[in-house]
Amino acid sequence: MTAPFPVRFTLEHVCRQSGARAGRMETPHGTILTPAFMPVGTQATVKAMSPDELKQLGAGIILANTYHLWMRPGSDLVREAGGLHRFMSWDRAILTDSGGFQVFSLSDPKRITEEGVGFTSHIDGSRHILTPEKSIQVQNDLGADIIMAFDECTPWPAEKDYAQRSLERTTRWLERCLEAHQRPGDQALFGIVQGSTYADLRRQSARAVTAFDLPGYAIGGLSVGEPGPEMQAMLEETVPLLPDNRPRYLMGVGSPDYLVDGALRGIDLFDCVLPTRMGRNGTVLTSEGRLIVRDARYARDFAPLDKACSCPVCQTFSRAYIRHLIKAREILGLRLTSWHNLHFLVHLMEQVRAAILADRLADFRAEFFDAYGYTRGKS
Amino acid sequence: MTAPFPVRFTLEHVCRQSGARAGRMETPHGTILTPAFMPVGTQATVKAMSPDELKQLGAGIILANTYHLWMRPGSDLVREAGGLHRFMSWDRAILTDSGGFQVFSLSDPKRITEEGVGFTSHIDGSRHILTPEKSIQVQNDLGADIIMAFDECTPWPAEKDYAQRSLERTTRWLERCLEAHQRPGDQALFGIVQGSTYADLRRQSARAVTAFDLPGYAIGGLSVGEPGPEMQAMLEETVPLLPDNRPRYLMGVGSPDYLVDGALRGIDLFDCVLPTRMGRNGTVLTSEGRLIVRDARYARDFAPLDKACSCPVCQTFSRAYIRHLIKAREILGLRLTSWHNLHFLVHLMEQVRAAILADRLADFRAEFFDAYGYTRGKS
């Protein structure tokens, strides 16, 4: 008999209007109501935010990047600190990625073999090799509640032949990850479905990955440049092959429309740097669409970023003040736009969940897209 | 009969051991217990901090810079926002400087005449002239509780002849400021004593400025490069000539030793960018002296910045984590060091006040300097 998984998912409700689902994911650091958006804290901090503020806006789980923390400050240091939760003073749940995506995207040159990926550090130019075993060892050191299998996020576009060889290697790497995992009782290892934008490869990958009984499954390699409809089509191929009683995580997806449409297709978890990165560039998400608050037109606009928003930023500060802060390169400006944007996405997922529980997610989608401006061609 | 000043000072106690004083300064935005340190919010924000955090650490009054706000976003915009308090969402007291110091220090070339100072904007290179009338008009627009007379902060070293002509012009400018002041019922205009490091000129300036019945008096032109003992000597010349029933503000002074020694000589108010600037550079103030937390020696130091400190940063985060944030150029690192340093100085002034009320400020000074390391030659 195997020990129970440290992360357990309970399906609470399936929306009768859309087929979307609401659930509850229990972790060693609290319960997350799904669908949920996970803010990204690449270097053991969600950029510009404090742990208290993340709690205030309702984040139950954040993501941290294994590659960055391995390179700096080093996973041995984090382990010595008592793990990532204690190191960064975050007592809710954490998910770490495998480091693979960063090795593939930040490092050049790199060399992929069956063994792993050789790469050069973006910090000091030192040479390293990331393997399934190394990724899991680093993630065991970091101690997140959810850890991810080492995969290749197949670049888009990819030749079908390459995409197939890539996903098959990813499956073999998954087996090595499971073998290497030293803390299966504390940390839930999720597998990742790849297959690029080929429906049959997605199905092949989903079948291969779900052949392993894992506490959760992710869909990777989407939102990497392919057209939106192709992404949705791949979700429709993949999701039905994933077990109902396990959480489903769509990696790296964070724009409001993709979140709503992902939930609609049965996704439970999302993550993206979009809200914080966009915020630092002076753009905010509002119920009426994106607003570039650094624009001159808001210089004397004393309204909040979003009149419909309940976040402390919108309760306290004006567009004119936030624009001033951003123009004057003041840190508080980046804090306020990041806070508001994260609140927006976390709160959007709460609304999506409420709509699922009320069996009206399709209606909610139509209302939201109309107000946000997607139906008028805005992005 | 003249209306009462909008800022009123009550002398509460004179320390029998040192002659230092504890007082209470009532303003239209709350009462400040003195001696007090005023954090600097140059561009309508104390760098890296939120208004809520400033309240949490006990700041009752902050300073904003007239020159910066005049140049960007413009004082007309701030007036339209309802004044600086509403613009930046700070409902406690604010003091604005005259803009003179920045015009003298940031602008090059500049031209000083009896009329005022012609200068070039550091933002867009546009030409402007700052006069006593213009300074007061801008400060009336900003609407701070305390506004400062337009003066020349005499550079150090200065020829005695220049220092005398400068202070006499500053006195004439004070008269023009009083004449120009449109909101004497809402905003308290403080005069400024100059005179460089010449004892007789300091006395001359103090007599000339206190010939005007003002709600408060400042001492300017110190801590601008002169040796510390010269500064203390100038305080000893000047302070006894200032009226007991008015607050005394030592401009631009913020290192812990100067704060304690200033209070010891009868100063009530201080301001400085030191805690926030030093924090952003990765150095923190502790009860045992300055600590350069970005140093490699703290990489695995899981103790708080200051074991004796009660601030939320020291209750929550380790040196190792804060060092990691600073090395990784993360905004939260700057937030935490700034918060801790501001807390340290505001709290130091609370301790100084308690020591005054207990008639033991000289003892407190000896204990503090010993623990901090000043008596061992540390800075």
Query: Residue A208 — pLDDT band, cuts 50, 70, 90?
Result: very high
Strands B269-272 and B36-39: parallel
Judge contact between B98 and B139, C-beta under 8 A: yes
CB-nearest partner of B316 from A72, A89, A302:
A89
SS3 B302: coil
Question: Chain B closest CA to A41's CA: distance in Å?
Answer: 10
pLDDT value of residue B1: 46
For residue B379, pLDDT over 60 is answered with no
* Chain A nearest C-alpha distance from B336 (Å): 9
| Catalytic residue, candidates B97, B141, B145, B268 | B97
What is the spatial distance between Cα A283 and Cα A349, in angstroms, rounded to a whole number?
Answer: 20
Q: How confident is the model at residue B2 (pLDDT cuts 50, 70, 90)?
A: low
**Is residue A44 a contact partner of residue A69, using CB atoms and an 8 Å limit?**
yes
Q: How far is A335 from chain B (nearest CA, A)?
A: 8
Residue of higher predicted confidence among A330 and A108: A330
Q: What is the distance between the alpha carbons of residues A19 and B192, in angstroms, rounded to a whole number?
A: 72
Q: Look at residue A261 and tell me whether its pLDDT is greater than 70.
A: yes
Minimal Cβ distance to B328: which of A72, A317, A331 = A72
At residue B7, the 3 state secondary structure works out as: coil
CB contact under 8 A, B50 and A332: yes
pLDDT for A106:
77
The answer to whether the CB of A220 falls within 8 A of the CB of A194 is yes
CB-CB neighbors (< 8 A) of B330 in chain A: 43, 45, 47
What was the pLDDT predicted at B343? 98
Residue among A263, A305, A311 at smallest CA distance from A288: A305
Taken in order B240, B243, B247, B249, the sign of the CA dihedral is negative
Q: Is there a catalytic annotation at residue B370?
A: no
Percentage of chain B beyond pLDDT 90 is 93
Report whether B28 contacts B60 (CB < 8 A): no
A324 touches chain B (CB under 8 A): yes
Restricting to B residues 183-242, those with a Cβ less than 8 Å away from any Cβ of A are none
DSSP class per residue in B41-99: -TTSS-TT--HHHHHHTT--EEEE-HHHHHHTT-HHHHHHTTSHHHHHT--SEEEE--S
What is this structure's pTM? 0.97
DSSP state for residue B11 in the 8-state scheme: E
Nearest CA in chain B to A316: B89
Among residues B300, B349, B342, which one has the least CA distance to residue B321? B300
Q: What is the set of active-site residues of A?
A: 97, 271
Give the C-alpha separation, A34 to A293, whole Å.
31
What's the gap in Å between the CA of A330 and the closest CA on chain B?
7
Residue of B nearest to A300 (CA): B77
% of chain A with per-residue pLDDT over 90: 93
Would the pLDDT of A146 be above 60? yes
Distances from the Cα of B30 to the Cαs of B21, B23, B39, B51, in angstroms? 20, 14, 16, 15
> Which of B340, B366, B332 lies closest to B285 in space, CA to CA?
B340
Residues of chain B contacting residue A90, judged by C-beta atoms under 8 Å apart: none
Mean pLDDT of A369-379: 77
| pLDDT per residue as tens digits for the range B49-91 | 999 999 999 999 999 999 999 999 999 999 999 999 999 999 9
A347 secondary structure, DSSP code: H
Residues A213-218: what's their mean pLDDT?
Answer: 98
Q: Is the bond into A184 cis (omega within 30 degrees of 0)?
A: no
**What does the pLDDT read at residue A1?**
46
pLDDT at position A337 over 60: yes
Characterize the bridge pairing of strands B289-292 and B188-193.
Answer: unpaired
Q: What beta strand segments (E) does chain B contain?
A: 8-14, 21-27, 30-34, 36-39, 61-64, 93-96, 111-112, 117-120, 127-130, 146-148, 188-193, 217-219, 248-250, 269-272, 283-286, 289-292
Structure confidence at residue A2 (pLDDT) = 62
| HEC secondary structure over B208-219 | HHHCCCCCCEEE
- The half-sphere exposure of B40 on its side-chain side, counting CA atoms within 13 A, is 18
Which residues of chain A make contact with B62, given a CB cutoff of 8 A? Answer: none
Query: For the residues B138-145, what does the mean pLDDT come to?
Result: 98
| Residue B376 banded pLDDT, cuts 50, 70, 90 | low
Residue A379, pLDDT > 60, answer no
pLDDT tens digits along B217-263: 999 999 999 999 999 999 999 999 999 999 999 999 999 999 999 99
- ipTM, 2 dp: 0.97
Segment A155-180 shows an average pLDDT of: 97
In chain A, which among 286-305 make CB contacts under 8 A with chain B?
299-300, 302
Q: What angle do CA A324, A329, A333 make, to 5 degrees?
A: 60
Neighbours of A180 (CB within 10 A): 18
Q: How close A316 comes to chain B (CA, Å)?
A: 7
Catalytic residue among B141, B268, B271, B306: B271
Q: Which among B47, B299, B335 has CB closest to A77?
A: B299
Q: How high is the pLDDT of residue B104?
A: 84
Reply yes or no on whether B271 is catalytic: yes
| Mean pLDDT score across all residues of chain A | 96
Query: How many CB atoms within 10 Å of residue A301?
Result: 17
Q: What is the pLDDT of residue B375?
A: 74
Least confident of A162-176, A365-379, B326-340: A365-379
Left (φ > 0), alpha (ψ -120 to 50) or beta: where does A252 sit? left
Let me know: does B136 contact B181? Beta carbons within 8 Å: yes
Q: How far apart are the first and last CA of chain B?
A: 50
Chain A residue closest in CA terms to B82: A302
Instruction: Give contacts of B300 with chain A, Cβ < 8 Å.
Output: 77, 80
Name the A residues in 31-90 with CB < 8 Å from any B CB.
43-45, 47-51, 68, 72-73, 77, 80-81, 87-89
B96-135 per-position pLDDT tens digit: 999 999 988 876 667 899 999 999 888 888 999 999 999 9
